[in-house]
Amino acid sequence: MHGQISSDVLGRSAIELKANRQYDLSVDKRTIPRWAATRLLEALSDTPVVVLNGARQVGKSTLVTSLTYPGTKEVVTLDDIATRSAARFDPRAFVQRSVDTLVIDEVQLEPSLFRAIKAEVDRDRRPGRFLITGSSRLLSAPDMADALVGRVEMVELWPFSQDELLGKRSEFIDTAFDAPRKLMQPGTLSRQELVERICVGGFPDALGRSPERKASWFDGYVTTTIERVVREVADIERAAEMPRLMRLCAARTAQELNISNLADEFRVPARTVSGYVAHLATAFLIQLIPAWSTNLSAKVIRRPKLVLLDSGLAAHLIGATSTTVDRPGGPFGQLLETFIISEIRKQLTWAAPRVSIHHFRDRNGVEVDIVLEHPDGRIVGIEVKATSTPRAEDFRGLRYLAQRLGDRFALGILLSAAPDATPFGERLAALPIETLWR
């Protein structure tokens, strides 16, 4: 049923970095390719209900309205008050439309629709009946999970990835597992260009703005997202203080989540802060990267790693700019790791195998920033260093995994600001950061 992709969705992007390193303001961001479109169309071809989940303002509405496929569709948005009132008044009648696909935007605004959708799908299980979007993790909502189990597939949409901005789909994850030699190519990206990409981030509406206008946009984004999304999923006593919690999280991005430490600084009980952090994750404002545990060591630390949704947002919240972030003692290392983890999370959306992402650290100080696990059990470890001069000691954690995992260890990668691709022994290599999107 759903087999074609609109040229508006996958057409080659016109965005390029100019000589002055600014994004081109004249570009229509609706023409930038979204590689998640392929996953959406695959899901619509064999699944009754498809969910496109992601943070506010990452382009969900643009993507679902741009998709082209056989059959008829109707798009309704619950952001419209009259439409939402109609959905609340009679959910069953609201979802009974004479179209092949009903697209419901921001469905979390009316949870009563979940049961109505279930009833309609039970009556007619044709693939592609419903395509729904949400700005919170819909499958974490009990009504959604209970009503649509076995009837739904979820696809996540993130801010623009670097390869989407350049119109070149990356196969970094697939290649790292199956053809690692192809990654051994030098880079051309300067350290300052890398800094600027990190500070810009990937939000469509932040691209191309001047630093002052970008700061205003990010301020409004945090406030409105907390008001409109976080409050939708929870009754938060200190909602007015949530932007401050976001800034505290930004200061800890790419670090293990220590709830007690965070609670002390926020001056709120740890149990309350733990709930607030969960709500921020539900609203996609932060990511919690789980610890990778195996039988390698009994001393594995199991706390998740806290990572902000977008490196540009993180930079803004801690007051870092492209002229200050790389100064001695600056946050370049944290923001670089945030940037890389976010890029990999985006690529996991369209990678062929369902690879999972973790981090690893034990009480002896052995750590690996990113652990990618293939469904067949193979592991790719990735270390992130801000250095422009990789050294053998930077591979300590990767060597630990390689020695203990044996054949399960597919590759160990050190991503750094150095331009060269350099082997550091069997299945170990230092690669330039742009390898991620080449």
DSSP letter string over 41-83? Answer: HHHHTT-SEEEEE--TTSSHHHHHHH---SS-EEEEETTSHHH
**The pLDDT of residue 32:** 87
Report the distance separating Cα 360 and Cα 397, nearest Å. Answer: 9
**The pLDDT of residue 286:** 95
Residue bearing tokens 């740890």: 270
Q: What is the pTM assigned to this prediction? A: 0.89
**The pLDDT of residue 4:** 37
Query: Which of 333, 392, 337, 401 has the alpha carbon at shortest distance from 366?
Result: 401
For 262, the token pair is 């965070």
For 381, the token pair is 């470890």
Cβ(50)–Cβ(152) below 8 Å: yes
Burial class (CB in 10 A: 0-12, 13-18, 19+), 120: buried
Tens-binned pLDDT, residue by residue, of the chain (438 aa): 444 333 333 333 333 333 333 444 344 666 788 999 999 999 999 999 999 999 999 999 999 988 888 789 999 999 899 999 999 999 999 999 999 999 999 888 888 898 999 999 999 999 999 999 988 877 666 666 666 777 889 999 999 999 999 988 999 999 999 999 999 999 999 999 999 999 999 999 999 888 889 999 999 999 888 877 666 655 666 677 888 999 999 999 999 999 999 999 999 899 989 988 988 998 899 999 999 977 665 567 789 999 999 999 999 999 999 999 999 999 999 999 999 999 999 999 988 888 999 999 988 889 999 999 999 999 999 999 999 999 999 999 999 999 999 999 999 999 999 999 999 989 999 999 999 998
**The pLDDT of residue 19:** 32
Indicate the CATH number for domain 7-156: 3.40.50.300
**The pLDDT of residue 15:** 37
Q: Where are the domains of the chain?
A: 7-156, 162-436
Rounded (10°) CA dihedral 227, 231, 235, 240: -20
Cβ(199)–Cβ(312) below 8 Å: yes
**The pLDDT of residue 6:** 38
Residues near 321 by beta carbon (within 8 Å), at least 6 away in sequence: 199, 211, 315
